[in-house]
Amino acid sequence: MGHIHHVNVIRLVGFCADGFRRALVYEFLPNGSLQDFISSPDNKNSFLGWDKMQDIALAIAKGIEYLHQGCDQRILHFDIKPHNVLLDHNFTPKISDFGLAKLCSKDQSIVSMTTARGTMGYIAPEVFSRNFGNVVL
C-alpha cells in the first residue's frame, strides 16, 4: 500500500504496531465519504451538482484503472462503493478500504476465488456469472 501513488487512491502515511495490535494511518480527508453526500437527508448532493458528480465518477474510474494496470501487481479492490470513496477538501475522490483487496500478477487473466467478496448490491456481476470460482480480467 505504501508504494501506491495516485491522486485518486488514498495515501498511506504510516503504521503502528504494538504486539498483536496494528494500525494503518492514512491521509485525512475532511469531506468524509461519497456516501455522506448521496444519501444525506439534507440533500447535500445538490450542492455538488451533476458536473461535479460526473467528475467524481470519472476520477474513481481512473483510480480503479491505476489499481488494475498502473501498479507492479494488479490490485483488485472487491469493495468499491460510495462508503469507501473519500473526498478531500476539493472534493477529489480517493479510493479507500483495501481490506478485501487481492493482489495478482499482470500476466494473470483469471483470478480464482472461493467465495464472493464485497458488499451485496455493489459486487461486480462477473463474480456471480463465473460461479464464484473465477473472475476474468
Instruction: With beta carbons less than 8 A apart as the criterion, state whether 99 and 118 touch.
Output: no
**DSSP string across 6-72:** -TTBPPEEEEEEETTEEEEEE---TT-BHHHHHS-TT-THHHHHHHHHHHHHHHHHHHHHIIIIISS
Q: How many CB atoms lie within 10 A of CB 18?
A: 7
C-alpha dihedral, 4 to 75 to 77 to 97, nearest 10°? -30
Give CA–CA dist 133/137, Å, rounded: 13
Provide the annotated active-site residues. Answer: 79
Cell of 74: 494488479
